[in-house]
Chains A and B, each alone.
Chain A
């Protein structure tokens, strides 16, 4: 009947089975590209490790100076390079997943990245670039910390109150961006960047207040969060990671199964059609940014109520900006964001050991992370490279045959 029917039959033998297969086939290239990007980034990272290794540099120097004994020094070069790269990367692996404690550290570092990454991803699906996860996390950290160290509440209730305060603060900080966009058309990239600055100075302002000052400390830091407001720990691992996974499930459900998520995706993809279909674009902008802010706020709780347990100017580190790369690598999907967050958490965690055990500067991790994102953002480049490689292998095969 239709010109497409033969294909349809070949592709989709049974309607019930068809959807899963289609999902797989549509995602396969993305997964492949991402993996290739990661491998390429590590390959470039390996070059950097070699260049920062003294023995390798020496071997190269000898090679240039004594071309006569090329083979000897070439051998040196290869041997030293291999051992430098091996040492560095094995330290990275061991330091991230090699032992219970390193695995713990990986998960602890992943949790905030996943939460804030989800915030960026969610806003992105609703058609907005949320550059403001940093500011949202900062104000949320302040709120969670304040509730955590000021009040004296029963054990579970205190944690919930601190979490709620963080979500509220983050949600407001994000929601205002959505409101400004909906009401005045202010571009969210500008407003989030500005609000990041505002958040930074709001936090500094409060840290200088007596109510936020740790007694007997000269630094700008708050008192330690009460025991009752901290995340419970199991085998030394705080339960933040569990919350992060739950948040990912929640975001997935929201996007794929809920009315609001349907509206968000529609607005994110074609706001005009969404409006014509009777959706409130303004509502979606506000809701998406508020939820994004809440997820950033949750990320802040991972540190304030988990690891550091007090608030300083740098309490959330650069989680808000790392979140953008995590969401990008995760293709703005909840599952992808979790995987990307775990990868970046592992890199950050393993980077410590890489420095101590193999002497590789920790900046390498930053470079590798940036390269992954670069290669992901340039799929044409990655495809070009893989194609070249494939052609090369087929040619070798032909020669071999």
Chain B
């Protein structure tokens, strides 16, 4: 199906989210949509999916103009969408999820499960989407759940498939599988709109690339363009994906973790005797597929989770019994993995969030009283220094774009003297411009003598920042390697394979699900 968008415009009040967007997706084409957060990609997709009504402009399918008053219309017209957060019922089976919304029944209103199952089997064979129709969705790894979403769309006879940042939740292996699936879909004539930040994926699978910036299509490129060119199109200036940094000059160990063990509330050991040191003036990257204990490890470093065994020493002092407040006062800076959950209070203004863990200091309060003047002054300075794009200091942080929300968190943590900076996924869901900015700040912090610990599931980020890389798998640090370690070897380590060149990672079908399934058995 050929999708043609002409002059599509969406205004919210005086703000133009989409400005006269023209886009053509040919049948059997993977059309990549690149853009920073807040560039207007979601608005555009929501119009395509009938969730928003365009202010101006037209959408045409195979030359026929269409207008949608809701997702139902879009589905009926052959547009399917796989949302970033899956719309599946966890306690239903795959087949039940697929038939949800258009259940076919036999005489007497009995659900025709057999037909649904057959449909799932047919689609999964036809497109190479391996999935068991009778499995409960909640038991499936994220990557397979995503496949269910795709099957659901295909079962609806979707001919244009919108994938909204589908790789954000996937492991590298799952990403590769998704790429294969996309190629297969394309080969069979399905058009795909692929929304992403990740330039490498675009180059791997895209046929055509449109870059959206500030609500406009600012350029199209073919996959042959270099990553640097694409990034430049996205942010409107040249960005260096490789962080400019000098050789580290590591000093004494500041943070020493020994035999740290964490047992989660369900009784599963998630961190299994981890030991490492972070030295002043050095970035230690902790690489690994998500769910291998990194989350619990860094939470225990701040005191959010009490370790069950082992010690954490800061400058030789054991802080493993300290709570978050003491840890912060000890000089630990903390950028949490999930910023909207742990990093800021969404209803609070930028001004308030910029002192969320600093309000106790004499600079911002005296006795029981907050020094509003100093807090406002601080907000003005941080907003300027970190180029936080906000309407005003009084704007609630929840209404900022992801990148600017993260800048609020980063600006706050860098506002005091740090001995250790612990940053988890510091640039997740952040636009390229902000990534560069945040990376530069992290390196500057390193150069001023802070010990930096970065946890990231993005290998690019690990490579760009780290002076040493610790690889975590199944609750353990399986190797500490240098930043010049080849990607392939890193991939093997992250998949839990012994660093052996002859090992074949493909033999194990889904190494990523191991931590959870192991845990469930234990």
Contacts and interface: CB of A to CB of B under 8 A. Distances in A.
A270 B304 contact: no
A184 interface: no
Contact of B368 (A1, A11, A259): A259
A57 B257 CA distance: 83
A7 B15 contact: yes
A262 B359 contact: yes
A387 B17 CA distance: 26
A259 B391 contact: no
Contact of B365 (A2, A3, A259): A259
- With a 10 A CB-CB cut-off, give which of B302, B323, B344 has the most chain A CB atoms: B344
B425 to A, nearest CB: 14
Interface stretch (B70-78, B241-249, B346-354): B346-354
A2 B394 CA distance: 17
A278 B333 CA distance: 11
Contacts of B215: 3
A270 B329 CA distance: 21
B217 to A, nearest CB: 15
A269 B347 contact: yes
A8 B368 contact: no
Given A259-B369, A277-B357, A266 B348 contact: yes
A257 B342 contact: no
Contact of B372 (A257, A265, A270): A257
Contacts of B326: 278
B214 interface: yes
B346 A270 contact: yes
A7 B395 CA distance: 13
Contacts of A2: 389
Contacts of A258: 368-370
Contacts of A1: 389
Interface in A3-25: 3-4, 6-8, 10-12, 15, 18-19, 22
Nearest to B343: A273
A260 B352 CA distance: 14
A278 B341 contact: no
B345 A269 contact: yes
Interface residues of B, number: 39
Given A259-B360, A273-B356, A11 B391 contact: yes
B368 A274 contact: no
A10 B13 CA distance: 13
Nearest to A6: B14
Contact of A276 (B343, B346, B372): B343
A34 to B, nearest CB: 20
Contacts of B344: 270, 273
Given A7-B14, A266-B348, A269-B346, A275 B392 contact: no
A140 B487 CA distance: 69
A65 to B, nearest CB: 49
Contacts of B334: 276
A274 B345 contact: yes
Interface in A235-284: 257-260, 262, 265-266, 269-270, 272-280
B342 to A, nearest CB: 4
Nearest to B39: A3
B35 to A, nearest CB: 12
B360 A276 contact: no
A11 B391 CA distance: 9
B368 A260 contact: yes
B237 interface: no
Contacts of A262: 352, 359, 370
Contacts of B356: 266, 273-274, 277
Contacts of B368: 258-260
A218 B329 CA distance: 63
B345 A273 contact: yes
Contact of B324 (A3, A265, A278): A278
A126 to B, nearest CB: 13
Given A262-B370, A276-B304, A280-B325, A12 B392 contact: yes
Nearest to A258: B368
Contacts of A269: 345-348
A185 B284 CA distance: 37
B328 interface: yes
Contacts of B346: 269-270
Given A257-B369, A258-B370, A273-B342, A278 B328 contact: yes
Contact of A7 (B38, B336, B365, B391): B391
17 contacts: A3-B214, A4-B391, A7-B391, A11-B392, A19-B394, A260-B368, A265-B345, A269-B347, A270-B341, A270-B346, A273-B343, A273-B344, A273-B356, A275-B304, A275-B342, A277-B324, A277-B356
Given A15-B392, A257-B370, A274-B345, 9 more contacts: A1-B389, A6-B14, A257-B372, A258-B370, A259-B360, A265-B345, A269-B347, A275-B304, A279-B325
The 9 closest A-B pairs by CB, nearest first: A278-B325, A277-B357, A2-B389, A276-B342, A270-B345, A277-B356, A278-B324, A278-B328, A269-B347
